[in-house]
Amino acid sequence: MSRPDSSTDSLVPARLAALRQAMRHHGVDACLVPSSDPHLSEYLPPRWKGREWLSGFTGSVGTFIATQEEAGVWTDGRYWTQAEDELAGSGIALMKIPSGAGTQYIDWLAATLRPGQVVAVDGAVLGLAIARQLRQALDARGIALRTDLGVLDDVWTDRPGLPEAPVFEHLPPFATTPRAVKLAALREAMAQHGAQRHLISTLDDIAWLLNLRGADVSYNPIFVAHALVAPERATLFVAEGKVPTDLQAVLAADGVDLAPYAEMPNALAALDPTMTLLLDPRRVTHGTRQAVPHHVTVIEAINPTTFAKSRKTAEEAAHVRATMEQDGAALCEFFAWLEEALARRHERPLDEVDIDRHITAARARRPGFVSPSFGTIAGFQANGAIMHYRATPGACATIAGDGLLLIDSGGQYLGGTTDITRVVPVGAITVEHRRDFTLVLKGMMALSATRFPRGTRAPLLDAIARAPIWAAGIDFGHGTGHGVGYFLNVHEGPQSISPSTPPDAHTAMEPGMITSIEPGIYRPGKWGIRIENLVLNADAGEGEFGPFLRFETLTLCPIDTRCIDRLLLRDDELAWLNDYHATVLARLRPHVQGAALAWLEERTQPL
């Protein structure tokens, strides 16, 4: 599995020692570094990768804490194997938590520190909701919390600056709703809340609202900014030079003014006392909230844009369907190449990095492709059991012998974002392989075929996909599904089909939402299986018990029937799979030819 490079690995103990010295200088007993930035992003620009810089752990989720005696990274089961490898020999312990939403590190701080001691964390990157939990727990123990200290800055002397990639416009026909229309709808929602101002800090919300895109974060076409929306005009706080002059004029004509990125706190501080400000407490940081004067009335509610962007319009859904055909055709070309390469691997052995390179190249040949939507996960046998595994040229497996190859990949296209996982057999596979594969397939099909009342809380659907897997006494350590953006973040809310997500009102399933369905089975040291499609919430009619929704499967790529234990499938499950493959064949056939077409026709044969 992947590790930090050797130079970074060897520097971790020295960085930890320097941090502890800075803590002593400031009179701090514990330093907390979350995996976060001022926008609470999932994937971070280099400037805010402080937890990774200090610990060497490269996973996207984790919280670092150091005291003078101990240090640890708290992360969930998706990253345990990776963290054990990357933290080895660093003096930093892996602290296992059951889910990405876990806050056990707060309990650890409250139990470990003594009354009168001090915890420091950068308030500019600490989520407001987490800050409130942290303060409540520490106050109860008489432990002080400081959010105003730059302890990390004291030791990270070559910290990167703000990203400099230019901002560009997402244009018609793919941008189907003008920004002026989106701003007007947002202002209507603000008025319903009684708010004269609304601050947005989440980067995908800003990009969606203004029909702008960027490249400040790997794989997600977003840019670092804040937005303050008023009844007549909006202000985009963005680093100078990132928005081209001609685009500045277009934005100004639509009532959007530019201001330097660093000026956002000052703009909040200057709000008139009569103002009412709408803030989303789950989507702003403690530092941002502290910048709001006490005399300004604050209304806390979810960003209206979070709901709006999750519900794709009919025009956007049409573009996504067309994008899925292009993505599926690219995958046909890739898998046709893969099968030929596997047949000749005695001549030139394949490794996991080859998978990433060839699958990205196949997508790059398709119209509208911009970039991968995340780092390809290509794991053979035991590496497939590492849920967020990433092969690198210096640390990857050769695809040799017999077993299963898991490939989780996706693309960013002007007309949508894709995310798909497939598993293919390499050489001879076992009865156990087929059993696990078929159980995962049964879980995926069970949820894909479900009808449910509109407004059902998304987390409540999770058990439907798990039920066939649970029946075999097996479980998996991640959520079943996440929301997906429209040429935006591959992970978006507010819906999340996961047992770790509270079934709050904002997680309600509504028409137009795109969500993944991706159950799995992972056997550490042996193999991993995940089958993933994206689905669209579609109308399923209305009757005596109100409106219902169903899932329209968007992803178009065969599921490898060579891995199936036919005896474990019911007739209705077999019918679902055959119908799916018939659809895949019909939709992709016009886009492929030669070896790719032959592969498609072979892999969609009915069972």
What is the CATH number for 433?
A: 3.90.230.10
Question: How far apart are the C-alpha atoms of 231 and 187, rounded to whole Å?
Answer: 6
Q: Please tell me whether residues 332 and 238 are part of one structural domain.
A: no
Closest CA to 156 of 259, 296, 49: 49
Residues 145 and 192 in one domain: no
Cβ(85)–Cβ(94) below 8 Å = no
Q: Is 435 helix (H, G, I), strand (E, B) or coil?
A: helix
In a domain, 350, yes or no: yes
Helix (H, G, I), strand (E, B) or coil at 87: helix
Last residue of a domain, one of 155, 188, 204: 155
pLDDT digits (tens, 9 = 90+) for 380-389: 999 999 888 8
pLDDT exceeds cutoff 80 at 98: no
Residues contacting 13, CB < 8 A, separation 6+: 90, 91
Same domain as 266, residue 117: no
Other CB atoms within 10 Å distance of the CB of residue 215: 18
Report yes or no: 489 and 218 within 8 Å, Cβ to Cβ.
no
Question: Rounded to whole angstroms, how far apart are CA atoms 439 and 435?
Answer: 6
Report the range of poorest mean pLDDT among 149-153, 278-282, 558-562.
149-153
pTM of the predicted model as reported, rounded to 2 decimal places: 0.92
Same domain, residue pair 143 and 176:
no
Domain housing 39: 6-155
Q: Per-residue pLDDT for 4 more than 70?
A: no
- CA-nearest of 452, 456, 374 to 412 is 374
Peptide bond into 494 cis (omega under 30): yes
- Look at residue 2 and tell me whether its pLDDT is greater than 60: no
Q: Which of 123, 155, 187 is the last residue of a domain?
A: 155
- Structural domain contains residue 536: yes
CA distance 549 to 394: 47
Judged by average pLDDT, the poorest of 75-79, 109-113, 269-273, 442-446 is 75-79
**Domain contains 160:** no
Confidence category of residue 541, pLDDT binned at 50, 70, 90 = very high
Angstrom distance (rounded) from CA 14 to CA 32: 18
Q: Is there a single domain that holds both residue 371 and residue 508?
A: yes
Question: Where does the pLDDT of residue 10 fall: very low under 50, low under 70, confident under 90, or very high at 90 and above?
Answer: confident
**214 and 335 co-located in one domain:** no
Q: Is the pLDDT of residue 256 over 90?
A: yes
pLDDT above 90: residue 540:
yes
Phi-psi category of residue 194: left, alpha or beta, with phi > 0 → left and psi -120 to 50 → alpha: left
Q: Whole-number mean pLDDT of the chain?
A: 94
C-beta neighbour count of 308 within 10 angstroms: 18
Domain contains 1: no
Same-domain check for residues 526 and 385: yes
28 domain residue, yes or no: yes
pLDDT tens for each residue of 165-198: 999 999 999 999 999 999 999 999 999 999 999 9
Q: Is the domain of 533 the same as that of 391? A: yes
What is the torsional sign of CA 270, 272, 278, 279?
A: positive
Burial 375-392 (b: 16+ CB within 10 A, else e): bbbbbbbbbbbbbbbbbe
Give yes or no for a contact between 241 and 223, defined as CB atoms under 8 angstroms apart. no
Nearest alpha carbon to residue 38 among 152, 125, 121: 125
pLDDT band at 9 (very low <50, low <70, confident <90, very high): low
Domain count for the chain, please give it.
3
Question: Residue 300 pLDDT more than 80?
Answer: yes
pLDDT at residue 1 tops 60: no
- 253 and 330 share one domain: no
Task: Report if residue 416 sits inside a domain.
Answer: yes
Helix (H) or strand (E) holding 94: strand 93-97
The token pair at 246 is 């001609």
Can you tell me the distance from the alpha carbon of 548 to that of 554, in angstroms, rounded to the nearest whole number? 19
Of the candidates 195, 169, 12, which has an alpha carbon nearest to the alpha carbon of residue 89?
12
**How far does CA 332 lie from the centroid of its chain?**
25
Q: Give the pLDDT confidence score for residue 3 in this predicted structure.
A: 40
* Residues contacting 153, CB < 8 A, separation 6+: 159
Helical residues (DSSP H) of 156-244, grouped into ranges:
179-193, 203-210
534 and 488 assigned to the same domain: yes
| Burial (CB count within 10 angstroms: exposed 0-12, middle 13-18, buried 19+), residue 330 | buried
130 and 15 within one domain: yes
Q: 606: cis peptide before it, omega within 30°?
A: no
CATH (domain of 151): 3.40.350.10
- Taking CA atoms, 295 is separated from 123, 199, 225, in Å, by 21, 17, 25
The answer to whether position 161 is within a domain reads no
Phi, psi of 417, deg, nearest 5:
-120, 135
Same domain, 379 and 333: yes
**What are the pLDDT digits (tens) for 142-170?**
999 999 988 999 999 999 999 999 999 99
Do the domain assignments include residue 163? no
Which 8-state DSSP code applies to residue 48?
G
DSSP 560: -
390/341: higher pLDDT: 341
Q: Which residues contact 158 (CB under 8 A, 6 or more apart)?
A: none
Which of 258, 285, 308 is at the close of a domain?
308
User: Could you read off the pLDDT of 308-338 as tens digits, one per residue?
Assistant: 999 999 999 999 999 999 999 999 999 999 9
Length of the chain: 607
